[in-house]
Amino acid sequence: MFASHPLAVIRAASLRRMLAAAALATALTLPVALPASAQARAVPDSFADLAERLLPGVVNISSSQTLAARNDRQGPEVPMFPPGSPFEQFFRDFLDRNRPPGQQRGPQAPPRRMQSLGSGFIIDPSGIVVTNNHVIEGADEVTVTLQDNTTLKATILGRDERTDIAVLKVTSDKPLAAVPFGDSDKIRVGDWVLAIGNPFGLGGTVTAGIVSARGRDIQQGPYDNFIQTDAAINQGNSGGPLFNLNGEVIGINTAIYSRSGGSIGIGFSIPSTLAKTVVAQLRDYGRAKRGWLGVKIQQVTPEIADSMGMKEATGALVASVEDGGPAASAKIRGGDIITKFNGQDIKEMRNLPRIVAETEIGKTVPVTIWRDGHELNLNTTVGELPDDQKLAAASPDRPAPLAGRPVEVAGLGLKLTPITPEARERFSIGPDQKGVLVTEVAPNSPAADRGLKAGDVIVEVQQQEVASPGDVVDRVDRARKSNRRSVLMLIQGTDGPRWVPLSIAPDNKRQPG
């Protein structure tokens, strides 16, 4: 992304992962609101009193794990494979056959311990500690060090990879100093904040700055809604708190943009509004429970908005609906644009997963959609996000396009045929898949610009099903006569269904040649 000067999102977390300046380190990834502090204040003369009050509630976290023993002390190592993997012996035999004369396999080295350092904060005097998941991920031992250097063994109550939040429990013979959560929704850009943590393993360190921005999406997950701050955050700060001037936690420090791995004044924190919900669930249930709608969505571009008769590009376009899910029960269907959910406007696609996730499971909420040129109000009952929900993997590259007598769609760079049995076999198209087959895409055409390929199936055009190449040509012609600048197609490809807007050029323009 930044070729000449690699600028990467770095986990403000563990020292064990200080591999390179451009290493990726997502200290937290999550969705939700923003920091707390209500009114603008004058520049404080000093943060000393506040820091003195807050430091006892911030802890250093050390986690360690045992790594597999090295099999060879001399020459190349056998790669690490899962226990029982047949590849381990294969590589061992290969390296033995190719070992230089006189070089013997060394004795097996003892298992190695790897340590990770991070930060956390106490939210309950009984010993409940919040940190980042990546600080303790894979650890078989976790210790918490208090401000007075007392070291306590910690157990993991729960952790959540999607938000990069973890909750620990320590036992002490006396109540521990705790810090409260604040309301990150109330914070404003320009508000003063303090970050406290354990950068580079140095121990309790206080830095000050302001809220630089809200609602940042740094492409680290479906719930990105980070607070950006210029308070210095470095590796080892992960899991530490971001405070407002009331001494309330309004963020969990997480990631930084950096060329060197150190702070350049661009740090990111998980908003407390989201964190509080996840922390409570991890504490009570050992896992996070999220609302679920059962849709696959994509961004509404200006071209898509135009093709659907919307005045502005807003909302989340439903690419597909999962059978039996809440959306299907509510009669939401592919091609709908969700513009409002539970009373909250969906300005961008990325807003919807976060809002749905935060909605109470089992609650019936109103949903506003755009369909057939007008708004429609529905109701849906929010389900629980399945633990095993994953993105579909991409399929292998497709074979060469079919021969035949395809129909060309003027101005779009597409050649189409019906789906024949031969086509189904060649392109691995399911027996129940309906639509029209793309057999050829002209270079530098509108279709090529949008990533269409031979083997894709056009299922709908302008939200109407198509069964033949003639149907596609007819829908495109109608869109042109309606003075649309683009036409919307539902494409079934190797990665699943997606909506694609294609610019409609006059028949005598932009013809591939």
- What does the alpha-carbon distance between residue 299 and residue 296 come to, in Å, rounded to a whole number? 11
Which pairs from 175-178 meet CB under 8 Å and 24+ separation? 175/125, 175/126, 176/57, 176/122, 176/125, 176/126, 176/127, 176/146, 177/56, 177/57, 177/122, 177/125, 177/147, 178/57, 178/122, 178/123, 178/124, 178/125
Contact between 332 and 301 (Cβ < 8 Å): no
Structure tokens at 14: 């563990």
Q: Burial of 391 by CB count in 10 Å (0-12 exposed, 13-18 middle, 19+ buried)?
A: exposed
Annotation says 164 is catalytic:
yes
Residues with Cβ within 8 Å of 399's Cβ and at least 6 positions away in sequence, in order, are: 426, 427, 455
Does 246 appear as a known binding residue? no
Spot the catalytic one: 62, 119, 184, 238. 238
Number of H helices, E strands in the chain: 10, 28
- What does the alpha-carbon distance between residue 204 and residue 46 come to, in Å, rounded to a whole number? 18
Spot the catalytic one: 164, 183, 306, 336. 164
- What does the alpha-carbon distance between residue 257 and residue 147 come to, in Å, rounded to a whole number? 28
- What does the alpha-carbon distance between residue 198 and residue 208 come to, in Å, rounded to a whole number? 15
Spot the catalytic one: 14, 72, 119, 134. 134
Taking alpha carbons only, the member of 134, 118, 129, 176 closest to residue 154 is 129
- 283, β-bridge pairs: none
Annotation says 5 is catalytic:
no
Taking alpha carbons only, the member of 246, 199, 247, 252 closest to residue 229 is 252
Does 164 appear as a known binding residue? yes
Contact between 269 and 275 (Cβ < 8 Å): no
Does 236 appear as a known binding residue? yes
For 434-472, b/e burial (b = at least 16 CB within 10 A) is ebbbbbbbbeebbbbebebbbbbbbbbbbbeebeebebb
- What does the alpha-carbon distance between residue 194 and residue 462 come to, in Å, rounded to a whole number? 52
Contact between 468 and 454 (Cβ < 8 Å): no
Residues with Cβ within 8 Å of 485's Cβ and at least 6 positions away in sequence, in order, are: 303, 306, 307, 503, 504
Does 238 appear as a known binding residue? yes
Taking alpha carbons only, the member of 195, 185, 167 closest to residue 254 is 195
Does 263 appear as a known binding residue? no
Structure tokens at 234: 């470095």
Contact between 483 and 390 (Cβ < 8 Å): no
Annotation says 238 is catalytic:
yes
Q: What is the DSSP letter of 181?
A: B
Binding residues are: 134, 164, 236-238
Annotated binding site for substrate: 134, 164, 236-238
Active site amino acids: 134, 164, 238
